[in-house]
Amino acid sequence: MLENIFQKQDVMRRVVYSMVPILLFSVLLYGWRVLAQMVVVFSAAILTEYLFTRHRGKKVSEAVLVTSMIYLLALPPAMPLWISAVGIIFAVALAKEAYGGFGRNVFNVAIAGRLFIFLSFPVPYNSAWLVPARIEGGSLTGLFGTTGGAVDTVTSATPLGLMYNGELPNLLHQFLGFRGGSIGESSVVLILLAAAYLLITKTANWRPMLFTFLGALISAAAFYFAGLIPGVTPSSFESVSALVPLAAYMMSGSILYVAVFMSTDPITAPNKPSAQVVYGIIIGLVSMTVRVFAGFPEGTSFGIMIGNTFASLLDEILPKAKKKTAKSPPKKASSPATQEVSA
């Protein structure tokens, strides 16, 4: 039955597979809310694309499953379900189908939906953060609150918020993922494992992934050592310990999540290797610049959108990779007899 509805796309399936462990971990952190968001987001996305494609005699692309998963894991845990539905409907209808459907969209579909609800519903968006389940005394606590979910529905400071207030988050908890943030952006180790799977299976291109992170790291380090990041002063640390807040800053927010799952989108990224390098640097640089200087808690959505905007231009103006020419075998030296005949 599913084959009659969906257009089979093995590459898209592998992306979804890579994100399943992150989804399961998010259920551990936030409980039933994640499952409720999943049902709403996937149902709304599939139905929206179906309504657009059925009149053209086409099947629903499995890319919509990737869009739904990326969008879902980028949401605050306690986001009102109707707003989550509005965002994914906007994403599929206007950021994808309005351009002609799969393969023709200019902007990353998931990030367009996330940015739309962030700008349209800022108050509920910024009030939807939760304290996740956490490790205390060697055991997991806070998994079930009085409302039956991961915790009571109260707002919580994200690691970036804590750092801006002069507090240093627990690095181990950040690496494992036991910290606040969007549903699926917290676990560094699971995101890295997903990246390894995508690269080993040749599902994702390494250049946008690597250079998005490097662009973010270099710009964040420049802002950090210049004393421009609020609440973080490297002068209060000695020698190598000054790198600890920088590491915490890079593991906060969604830059790693965006580098692995969004900058590598083959539809909206450029095709030339040199263009992919510049594209990644643009995303990382813009993301950190917005995070530091703008009035937004995070800048990755803007980084992706700006990168998408310049992707085609980068392919146009940057040179192609030089093709390696096969070396011709050396000519055999002529024999003395042949030389005499020639003479």
d(CA 305, CA 288): 14
pLDDT band at 343; cut points 50, 70, 90: very low
Residue 320 confidence (pLDDT) above 50: yes
Query: What mean pLDDT do residues 305-318 have?
Result: 95
Query: What's the whole-number mean pLDDT along residues 272-279?
Result: 96
CA distances from 51 to 47, 89, 283 (A): 6, 11, 33
Whole-number Cα distances in Å, 299 to 62, 64, 90, 97: 28, 24, 21, 26
Residue 340 has pLDDT above 60, yes or no: no
- Indicate the pTM of the whole model: 0.87
pLDDT tens-digit readout, 223-249: 998 888 877 777 666 667 778 888 989
pLDDT above 60 (res 155):
no
By three-state DSSP, how is residue 112 classified? helix
Residue where the block lists tokens 């801006």: 164
Pairwise CA distance, residues 124 & 128, whole Å? 6
Is pLDDT of 336 > 50?
no
Transcribe 201-212 into DSSP letters.
TT-S-HHHHHHH
* CA–CA dist 9, 48 (Å, integer): 19
pLDDT bin (cut points 50, 70, 90) of residue 132 is confident
* 182-192 residue pLDDT tens: 999 999 999 99
Closest to 184 measured CA to CA, from 335, 343, 28, 341: 28
For residues 17 and 15, give the distance between their C-alpha atoms in angstroms, rounded to a whole number. Answer: 5
Count of Cβ atoms closer than 10 Å to residue 201 Cβ: 14
DSSP character string of 172-204: HHHHHT-S-SSTTS--HHHHHHHHHHHHHTT-S
Q: Are the CB atoms for 14 and 202 separated by under 8 Å?
A: no
- 58-80 tens-digit pLDDT: 889 999 999 999 999 999 999 99
Give the pair of three-digit tokens for residue 265: 């989108």
On average, the pLDDT of the chain sits at 85
Q: What is the pLDDT of residue 232?
A: 75
Is there a contact between 213 and 284 (Cβ–Cβ < 8 Å)?
yes
Query: Which contacts (CB < 8 Å, 24+ apart) does range 228-232 have?
Result: 228/292, 228/293, 229/163, 229/292, 230/164, 231/163, 231/164, 231/165, 231/166, 231/167, 232/163, 232/164, 232/166
Among 261, 276, 93, smallest CA distance to 182 is for 261
Residue 150 has what pLDDT?
45
Rounded CA gap, 193 and 179, in Å? 18
Q: What's the pLDDT score for residue 324?
A: 61
Tokens of 285: 């640089």
Q: In angstroms, what CA-CA distances link 206 with 67, 197, 198, 297?
A: 20, 12, 9, 27
pLDDT of residue 239: 63
Return the residue matching tokens 């959505």.
301
Judge whether residue 333 has pLDDT over 80. no
d(CA 53, CA 5): 10
